[in-house]
Structure 1
Amino acid sequence: MGCVQSGSCKPRFCDSITVLELNASIDQNPTTIDESSDVVLRYRTPYFRASAQVLVPPVLKKEIWTVGWIQACNQMDFFNHYGNEGLSSWELSDLRAGHVAALSDSDGVSYPWYGSTSEIFTVVGPTRRDTQLTVSMNDNFHPSVTWSVPIATVGSPAQLTGIRRDQRFTTWLVARNEGSGEVTLLRTLRWRMRVRIDVDPCQPLGQRAQLLEPLLQEQPQVLPKNEPIPLNALDKPNANDAQMLIWRPSSAQPIMVIPPKYTPTP
């Protein structure tokens, strides 16, 4: 733990912010599959959950400190296979090309925070007493995948044969001085979510998909030493706005089906 940016932060105050309790887990239940729609297959992964109790000492000055969660996506492999026709892929182009090591996983509004409700707690100084607070967050995937290839016309037959997904995230518990922008890293977590589903499109609706693995996800890691937060994890774009859907046919050039929502400002 320690201050990681220059500014007016007094190290003794930063070092006295204490994590009393930290819990991080992924629910111990398998990904569920929903075939109720004749247009899309839906699935829902178990939740990643993190919660921390933090003790902030008295803030003697007119300072504002925010304690909360910041998350970044480090890897996104998300492929939907359509037999010999090809595959579709949700992609983060800068991450895929290796131009950045991570992208913000903020809600797209509360940068750099993962969210603005239970995910953060603000302490407004001056305060006379210690402030004991709790911040919590959760995350999971609940996508819809078309039964037919993404560029098919309405009413095309089901051709989906499999889904493969593997994503990795780093999540930081952070205290930030809102005046100076100074950041104190309290804890660093890593977690991963994987999905492998096989699909037989020839079967009747409701009997097509089968979860192969994992039945239970790997549990998150609390790192023994904090890792610095990449700049890309603190600002736009967030992963949801940067992702795009690409159709990669077996015998033709890739086609962008859904472009990214985020357009950089010149």
Structure 2
Amino acid sequence: MRLSSPPDLWKLLWIVLLFNAMGCIQSIRCKPKSFRDSIIVLEVKTCIDSNPTSIDESSSVVLRYRTPHFRAHAHVLVPPVAGQETWTIGWIQACNHMEFYNTYGNKGMSSWELPDLRDGKIQAISDSDGVNYPWYGNTTETCTIVGPTKKDSKFTVSMNDNFYPSVTWGVPVSDSNVPQLSSIHRDQSFTTWLVAINKATSETLILQTIRWRMRLHINVDPDKPLGQRAVLDEPITQEQPQILGKNEPIPANAMVKPNANDAQVLMWRPKNGVPVVVIPPKY
């Protein structure tokens, strides 16, 4: 039996190595990617509209104001989903700070408060629509992918938020409607997450984190005629939202009931005397 010459041995070794390499490449390429590895956020845009807070004095009972909108848009690409999985992708929002009080001269102030957040018992509270927990909403705010899918899925999820409250001209615990409102102060901070959640397993992937804040101060002269009482002091233009370079975890309270609207309490805090609950929480 004639032994192969050195060139033949090298040739044989090269063929073996080549086939092994091709097999490895093929096995890597054929291995399906997990949803976590395959989802791609193509673009995230966020802003607060540049228009100032508008003031409405058309009612003799309440002053209304409307703040500019916070807006967030995300373009997301999901390659084919191999398994029988259902994922919802969308926006979750939580309030992590709230100061909202209305002063009535030397009488005192009314204040919308979130007791657990105020007292430091929780880090944040859900700002869900109160129906589709934990999502901010379920129209433009979310999109659901049901696997298996054969093609890429590309879609946009968007949300917007602003304040449009009514504040009584008169002291809220009084039967009198005599105008005594002298100022409005509001300062709220939020964290907004772009998230993907597996319906079956509740696996949660945080794709993007945004922080934003809304502030306003309105001076009111109750002695002036209706329509001339309130003046926006500051800020005229809001600070723009911040897209974080590193995602933040979602606090547990941001994912479950109650939401901020149901948990808030309207208090009357007189300059002299005991605070009174004007409107209790809804939950």
Q: Give the structure-2-normalised TM-score.
A: 0.88
**Corresponding residue number in structure 1 for 2:55:** 33
Shift of 1:57: 1.6
Q: Which among 198, 213, 218 is matched to residue 239 of structure 2?
A: 218
Q: Deviations over 1:63-106 (max 9, x none)?
A: 10110000000001001000100000000000000000000000
CA RMSD after TM alignment:
1.0
Q: Which among 179, 184, 192 is matched to residue 158 of structure 1?
A: 179
**Corresponding residue number in structure 2 for 1:14:** 36
**Corresponding residue number in structure 1 for 2:265:** 244
Shift of 1:45: 0.1
Which structure has more relative contact order (CA 8 Å, sep 6+)? It is 1
Tell me the SS of whatever aligns to 1:94.
Answer: helix
Shift of 1:25: 0.3
The equivalences for 1:116-131 within 5 A come to 116-131=138-153
Identity of aligned residues (%): 65
In 1, Cα distance between equivalents of 2:216 and 2:175: 27
Q: Read off the aligned partner of 2:221 and give its amino acid letter.
A: D
Does structure 1 residue 176 correspond to structure 2 residue 193? no
In 2, Cα distance between equivalents of 1:238 and 1:58: 35
Tell me the SS of whatever aligns to 2:106.
Answer: helix
| 5+ residue gaps, structure 2 | 1-31
Shift of 1:122: 0.3
**Corresponding residue number in structure 1 for 2:79:** 57
Shift of 1:15: 2.5
Figure out how many residues of one structure are paired with residues of the other and give that number.
Answer: 252
Tell me the SS of whatever aligns to 1:153.
Answer: coil
Q: Deviations over 1:31-87 (max 9, x none)?
A: 000000000000000000000000012111111011000000000100100010000
Shift of 1:12: 4.2
**Corresponding residue number in structure 2 for 1:195:** 216
**Corresponding residue number in structure 2 for 1:5:** none
Q: Read off the aligned partner of 1:229 and give its amino acid letter.
A: I
Does structure 1 residue 67 correspond to structure 2 residue 96? no
Shift of 1:11: 7.9
The equivalences for 1:78-97 within 5 A come to 78-97=100-119
In 1, Cα distance between equivalents of 2:276 and 2:33: 52
Tell me the SS of whatever aligns to 1:84.
Answer: coil
| Structure number with higher helix proportion | 2
- Higher CA-based Rg: 2
Shift of 1:16: 2.0
Shift of 1:13: 2.7
**Corresponding residue number in structure 1 for 2:123:** 101
Does structure 1 residue 146 correspond to structure 2 residue 168? yes
Q: Read off the aligned partner of 1:79 and give its amino acid letter.
A: Y
| 5+ residue gaps, structure 1 | 1-9
